[in-house]
């Protein structure tokens, strides 16, 4: 997979050449269909898809008055996408004169503006899968204890530990080892393109309610079925003991 990049005041932009067939739909109508997707890392955590102009339905794009500027990518002309009786205003953009030459003949479609994205014949949620991200889920007999303000929220010697590129290990624990009376269901739902949809809980410790501290995938995607129904806590926000040793809290985008 070829990689190029450019550095500007906003940081480094990475552009790769993908090999998956990628399709995007709006209103049931095909907007883009390519076997030459270009994953572009505009933020460090995951890529966005841009597609060659020749592989997009440019007849569905209507230029608008909106022009935005990126210190690294240059000026972008925005387009409204009209397809299947729906409109996605300013949802497509093109950097026709970008200092990053690879971007000039590409169209980026707003991920959330589309009704559906497919990699090959599998629908993908949340954002494109990062080809450099790997998820490993392993059984572990190490004793795991989760505390907050001295209150034990979970303790188990039958955990599954999930290793995901770029994130700290996540310890998933069976519900019988989690005093669920301390957890309060919330309406928060999160999505992961590798694991699926998660439900969340807050933790009640004394008079304090700590929001969205734990989560679980009731019906994860097939590649992550080992964590189905198990509960994990944000290492960044609890005291995590592994075999009696207190782990240092990692610092990530989930720290607050």
Q: What is the CATH number of the domain that holds 90?
A: 2.170.150.40
The 3-state DSSP class for residue 202 equals strand
User: Do residues 236 and 176 both lie within one domain?
Assistant: yes
pLDDT grade, residue 5 (50/70/90)?
low
Question: What is the model's pTM?
Answer: 0.75
Please write the tens of the pLDDT for every residue from 31-84: 999 999 999 998 878 899 999 999 999 999 999 999 999 999 999 999 999 999
Domain count, the chain: 2
User: Do residues 23 and 107 both lie within one domain?
Assistant: yes
In a domain, 159, yes or no: yes
Identify the domain containing residue 192 by its residue range.
135-246
User: Do residues 51 and 109 both lie within one domain?
Assistant: yes
User: Do residues 173 and 236 both lie within one domain?
Assistant: yes
User: Do residues 102 and 156 both lie within one domain?
Assistant: no
Calpha distance 188→178 (Å, rounded): 20
User: Do residues 157 and 94 both lie within one domain?
Assistant: no
In a domain, 256, yes or no: no
The 3-state DSSP class for residue 243 equals coil
Query: What is the pLDDT of the chain when averaged over all its residues?
Result: 93
pLDDT at 125 > cutoff 90: no
pLDDT grade, residue 253 (50/70/90)?
confident
Calpha distance 157→145 (Å, rounded): 9
């Amino acid at each position: 997979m070829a990689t190029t990049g450019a550095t500007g005041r906003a940081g480094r932009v990475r552009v790769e050449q993908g090999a998956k067939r990628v399709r995007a739909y709006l209103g049931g109508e095909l907007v883009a269909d390519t076997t030459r997707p270009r994953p572009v890392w505009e933020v460090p955590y995951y890529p966005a898809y841009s597609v060659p102009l020749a592989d997009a339905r440019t007849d569905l794009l209507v230029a608008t008055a909106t022009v935005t500027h990126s210190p690294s990518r240059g000026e972008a002309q925005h387009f409204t996408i009209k397809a299947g009786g729906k409109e996605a205003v300013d949802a497509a953009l093109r950097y026709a004169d970008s200092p990053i030459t690879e971007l000039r003949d590409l169209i980026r479609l707003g991920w959330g503006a589309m009704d559906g994205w497919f990699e090959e014949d599998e629908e993908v949620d949340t954002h494109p899968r990062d080809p450099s991200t790997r998820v490993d889920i392993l059984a572990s007999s190490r004793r795991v204890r989760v505390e907050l303000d001295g209150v034990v929220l979970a303790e188990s010697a039958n955990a599954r530990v999930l290793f995901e590129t770029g994130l700290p290990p996540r310890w998933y624990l069976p519900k019988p080892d989690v005093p669920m009376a301390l957890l309060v269901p919330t309406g928060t739902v999160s999505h992961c393109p590798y694991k699926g949809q998660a439900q969340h809980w807050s933790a009640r410790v004394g008079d304090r309610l700590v929001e969205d501290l734990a989560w679980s995938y009731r019906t994860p995607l097939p590649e992550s079925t080992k964590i189905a129904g198990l509960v994990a806590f944000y290492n960044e926000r609890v005291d995590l003991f592994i075999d009696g040793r207190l782990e240092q809290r990692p610092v990530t985008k989930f720290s607050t």
